[in-house]
Structure 1
Amino acid sequence: MARNLLAGVITVDDLPAATAAFVRRQAAARGYEGDPLDGVTHGLRTDEDTMERLRSGPRVEHHTTELLLSPDLLVIAYRQGHDDRYDQVDPAARVSFHRLDQLEVAPAATGLRPRGTGGVPQGVLALTSTALGTTRRTTRHVPTGNAPEVATFRAALEAAVQLACR
């Protein structure tokens, strides 16, 4: 299976209108007071294309993950497909909200690690928290790639987490 990751900086204005509305509805449903998109200081979008060769021909899947950082919250929005239809949200779209004072960011991987050796592979952001509306603490691995924008976002996230935990 071939995989291609492309990461770039985004702002709240870069979100499709339907996605922004979906994020706001989900935040309200999970008890977050206010607009979760207000005060976003950093944003990162990762577009991931995977291609699998089948007998009937190649199958290509597209996934988009957006990470939006505000002074007290990390929003992770995930959807499949391309943004061809800005007026509709992907039925499989998901969003999670993580309070920074409850978030742990795993150290960045250095070098390649063989499979099965543990640790976080390069190009992945590992986040542990109890997301809003849930009761279990879980770890989420978000594919980000290794672009310079990813390092900038990671540094801002780590600084915001440290500040929130003081």
Structure 2
Amino acid sequence: MTRNLLTGAITVDDLPAATAAFIRAQGAKRGLDGDPLDGVTHGLRTDEDTHERLSSGPRVEHHTTEMLLSPTLLVIAYRQGHDDRYDRVDPAARVSFHRLDQLELVDAPVEKRARTLGAHAHGVLSLASRPVGGPPRRATRHIPTGNAPEAATFRTALAAAVERARADA
């Protein structure tokens, strides 16, 4: 099995309209005040293609993860398939909202690092949090980001925003 990651910086305007609407609707459903996409300072999109050779032929899966950072919130949107249809959101799409003052950046386990290109800690963003409107327990998420300069910039901005949010709390 092979994996290919393509990572790049994004803005809210780079989101497909259906994805932005989905994020806003989920934010309202989970009780967030205001538009969760207002004030976004940094964004990172990772497209991950997985190629697997099966006896019945090749199988290719595509996953897109977008992370959007505001001064108080990290939004993580995840969907499958390609963005060839901007008029609707993948039925399996998910979004989570993480308050920065409750977020912890953690080291990725070795097995998670090994599945990304470069196979080192900077290829995966791992965070522990209790998502807004989610289960009452903290969970750790491992998001493949690759080693592109945009991923490092996002990681640095996220760490600084978490630190500021904790200081202000």
Give me the TM-score of the superposition, normalised by structure 2.
0.90
**How far off is 1:55 after superposition?**
1.3
Query: Which whole-Å CA distance do the structure 1 matches of 2:137 and 2:108 have between them?
Result: 24
Deviations 1:66-101 (A, max 9, x none): 000000000000000000000000000000000000
For these two proteins, the number of residue pairs brought into alignment is 161
Partner of 1:61: 61
Q: Indicate conservation of the 8 Å contact 2:122/2:152, yes or no.
A: no
**How far off is 1:121 after superposition?**
4.2
Q: What secondary structure does 1:52 align onto?
A: strand
Partner of 1:20: 20
Partner of 2:130: 130
Deviations 1:25-74 (A, max 9, x none): 00011000100000000000000000010112110000000000000000
Q: How does 1:14-93 map to 2 (within 5 A)?
A: 14-93=14-93
Matched-pair identity in %: 76
Query: Which whole-Å CA distance do the structure 2 matches of 1:73 and 1:131 have between them?
Result: 10
What letter matches 1:9 in structure 2?
A: A
Give me the TM-score of the superposition, normalised by structure 1.
0.92
Query: Which whole-Å CA distance do the structure 2 matches of 1:50 and 1:114 have between them?
Result: 14
Q: Indicate conservation of the 8 Å contact 2:108/2:142, yes or no.
A: no
Q: Indicate conservation of the 8 Å contact 2:105/2:127, yes or no.
A: yes
Give unmatched runs, 5+ long, in structure 1. none
What letter matches 2:34 in structure 1?
A: G
What letter matches 1:51 in structure 2?
A: H
Partner of 1:140: 141
Query: Which whole-Å CA distance do the structure 2 matches of 1:33 and 1:40 have between them?
Result: 15
Deviations 1:94-138 (A, max 9, x none): 0000000000012579xxx779xxxx8441100101100021110
Structure 1: which 4+ aligned runs deviate by more than 4 Å? none
What letter matches 1:30 in structure 2?
A: R
Query: Which whole-Å CA distance do the structure 2 matches of 1:15 and 1:157 have between them?
Result: 19
What letter matches 2:105 in structure 1?
A: V
Taking only aligned residues, the RMSD between alpha carbons, in angstroms, comes to: 2.1
Deviations 1:119-158 (A, max 9, x none): x844110010110002111000001001111000000000
